[in-house]
Chains A and B, each alone.
Chain A
Amino acid sequence: MGNRKQPIVEIRNLSKSYRRGSEVISVLENINLDIPEGEFLAFMGPSGSGKSTLLNLIAGIDGADSGMILVGGVDITSMTESELAYWRSINVGFIFQFYNLIPVLTAFENVELPLLLTWLSRKERREHVEAALRMVNLSDRMDHYPGQLSGGQQQRVAIARAIVTDPTILVADEPTGDLDRASAESVLGLMALLNREFGKTIIMVTHDPHAAEKAHTIITFEKGILGAPV
C-alpha cells in the first residue's frame, strides 16, 4: 500500500481458521496489511477466499486465532466482548448486502438505533438522524417502514445508519449484491461521496468488478492469501 497517509488499520501476522467437525479449515494465514486513513478499499475474490472473514475481523465482529489488528492505534484483538461492542458502536459503520434493517422500525428509527447507545438527548438524536437521512436523500421517507421502501432506498437507509454516529471506518459487505444496476450505481456513488467529501475510510467486499472500480485500491484474495494491491 502507498505511504500517502498514516494507516488507520494495521494488520500484523493475522490468522483465522474455522472448525468443521474434527476438521480445521484455515481461512486466513499470516496476513499483514496497512490501510491508510481515507482509503476506499475493495476486497475481491472467489467465495470462501477469506475476504468477508477479514472484513469481520477488522470490524471487530469476529475473533482472530493469532495476530494483531490495530484500528486508529487501538489493538482490538485484545478487547473483551463488551469492550468490542462499545468500540464498534463508536468506530465502525456497517453496510450489509441485505440492508439488515429492523422491519418494525421506520427509516428514522432504524437510523436512530445506534444513537440509543450514546448520551445524546432526544433532540440531538433527531438532528443527527435528519442530517444522515438528508445526506442519503431520504428526508421524505423517514416515516416509512423498510417494507415500504425499494431495495436501493433500504440500502441508503442502511448507509445513513452506518454514518449517523460518524464512525472512523465504514465496512461494506457486498453492498450492491442485492440491488439492480441503477440502485447499485446510486449506492456506490453515495459511498464514493462519503469517501471523497467526508474522508471516510471505506473497506468493501464485493464480487462485482464494476463496484470495485469505484474503490481507490483493490486487493484480491485467493485461498486466504492476499494479492498485491491494484
Chain B
Amino acid sequence: MHLFKLIYRNTFRHKQRTWLTILGVTIAILAFGILRTLVNAWYAGVEASSSVRLITRNSISLVFPLPLSYKEKIQRIPGVENVSYAVWFNGTYISEKNFIPNFAIEPESFLEIYPEYVLPDDQKAAFFRDRGAVIAGRKVAERFDWKIGDTIPLIGTIYPGTWNFTLRGIYHGAEKNTDETQFFFHWNYLNESLKKSLPNRADQVGIYIEKIADPDLAPRVSEAIDETFKNSLAETLTETEKSFQLSFISMTEAIVVVIQLVSFMVIIIIMAVVANTMVMTARERIGEYAIMKTLGFGGWHLSVLIFGESLLITTIGCVFGVALTFPSAKIFREHIGTYFPVFTISLNTMLLSLAASTLVGIMAAVAPAWHATRIRIAEGLRRIG
C-alpha cells in the first residue's frame, strides 16, 4: 500500500460529490479553453502576419483610396523588394448572411508576397491568365461546395452591380493559422469596369503591400514611403502588417478584454467550488487525520493526502475539459467560422488549461491542509464516536 492508493480511495469515497466537482471543473476548463481559443482567433490575423510585409494606406482613413500611380514610386524606395495592392470589395454571395472576405488584387505580385496562400501550379497559371477568374480558400470552397470552373456571382455593395467570377483555383494555407476563407480576384477586372461605369473611382487601390528585404528595415522603409507622399493629395501611413492587424483589433479591444476577464472569472468560480468540496472533505476526516497523526504521520503526510486529492479531482476535470474542447471548438468553427477563420486550440491554450486546473487544485487545498496539520490530536480524536 502506498499513500497514493489512499489518495485515490479518499477521492472516490463520496462518488457523487466527487463526480459533480469533476463535472464542474470539466465545464470550467471547457469554457476556459473555448474562451481562450476565441481570444486567439481574434488575434489570428496578427499571429499570421509577416515581419517582412508592410501595409500602406491613406493616412486619413482606410476608407479613402490611394492612387495606382504610387506603385512605381514605392517600388523604387531602397529596401522594398516587391509591391502589390488590394481593394476591399465587400461583395455579397447570394445573401448577406454568406459573408466572405473578398478582395480585388494584383495576382502575380500578391501571391509572391503571400506565399502562405498555396495553389497548384496549373490553377495558379489559370488564375493569372483569366481576368475574370477568382481563387477561393479551401474552407470557403467547401462551405459552398464550389468546384473549379464554377461561376460565382457577387453582389457589389461598394461597387454596385452583379459581378460574375469563374473559380480557377482553390488555395490552402501553408500554416495552420493561415486564413482559408478568403476570395481573391483580379483588380484589373474591377478597374476596367469602373473606368466605364464610375471613372472617378478607377485607377485607385485600397492598400499597398510591400515586401521588404529585412524586418530591421521596416521603420526606415515606412518612413521613406510616407515621406515620399508627404504634402500630396493622398498622404500615406505605412506600418508593419502586425501593427495594421492590431489596429483592427484595437477597435474591438473592449470585447477581447471582457472575454479574457470572463475566462479568468470561470477559473475563480470553480476554485471556490473545489475549495468548498475540499473543506467539507477535510472537515469530515479530521478524526482520521488525528488518528494518522497519532500513528506518527506528520503534517506533510496529511498535506500530501489533501493536496493529492484536490489535484486528482482537478486533473481529471482538466483532462475531460481539454478533451471536450476539441469537438466543441469544431462545432464553434462550423457555426462562426465566417467570422473567425482560424479557430484552433493551441498548445498554449492546453497548457494554460492545465496550469489553471493545477492552480485551482493547489489553492483549493491550502486552507483544509493548513487546518488539518494544525489540529491537535486529542481534539481531533474527540470528534470520533
A-side interface residues toward B, CB under 8 Å?
A: 56, 59, 61-62, 82, 85-86, 88-90, 94, 96-98, 100, 102-105, 108-109, 112-114, 116-117, 161, 178
Contact = CB atoms under 8 A, between A and B. Distances in A.
> Main secondary structure on chain A at its contact with chain B?
helix
8 contacts: A89-B296, A90-B296, A100-B288, A102-B291, A103-B13, A104-B9, A112-B1, A113-B295
Contact of B377 (A61, A86, A113): A61
A89 B377 CA distance: 14
B384 A117 contact: no
A116 B378 contact: no
B1 A88 contact: no
B1 A105 contact: yes
A117 B296 CA distance: 8
A193 B195 CA distance: 114
Interface residues of B, number: 24
Contacts of B294: 59, 61, 88, 94
B6 interface: yes
Interface in B1-60: 1-3, 5-6, 9-10, 13
Nearest to A109: B1
**Which of B13, B287, B295, B378: most chain A Cβ within 10 A?**
B295
B199 interface: no
A18 to B, nearest CB: 10
A98 B63 CA distance: 82
A203 to B, nearest CB: 15
Nearest to A118: B296
Contact of A100 (B1, B2, B291, B296): B291
Given A104-B6, A109-B1, A113-B295, 6 more contacts: A59-B294, A62-B378, A90-B296, A104-B9, A105-B1, A105-B9
A116 B2 CA distance: 8
Contacts of A85: 293, 296-298
A105 B2 CA distance: 11
A156 B295 CA distance: 17
B296 A98 contact: no
B296 A114 contact: yes
**Which of A97, A98, A113: most chain B Cβ within 10 A?**
A113
Nearest to A126: B1
Contacts of B5: 109
Contact of B287 (A88, A97, A100, A104): A100
B356 to A, nearest CB: 29
Closest 3 CB pairs of A and B: A89-B296, A104-B9, A61-B377
Interface string B130-158: 00000000000000000000000000000
Interface of B: 1-3, 5-6, 9-10, 13, 287-288, 291-298, 376-378, 381, 384-385
Contacts of A117: 295-297
Contacts of A98: 384-385
A196 to B, nearest CB: 25
Contacts of B381: 61, 96, 100
B277 to A, nearest CB: 17
Given A61-B378, A97-B385, A109-B1, A114 B295 contact: yes
Contacts of B378: 56, 61-62
A112 B376 CA distance: 24
A112 B6 CA distance: 12
Contacts of A109: 1, 5
A173 B368 CA distance: 28
A61 B296 CA distance: 10
A56 B292 CA distance: 15
Nearest to A104: B9
Contacts of A86: 296
A88 B296 contact: yes
B6 A105 contact: yes
A116 to B, nearest CB: 7
A89 B294 CA distance: 8
A188 to B, nearest CB: 20
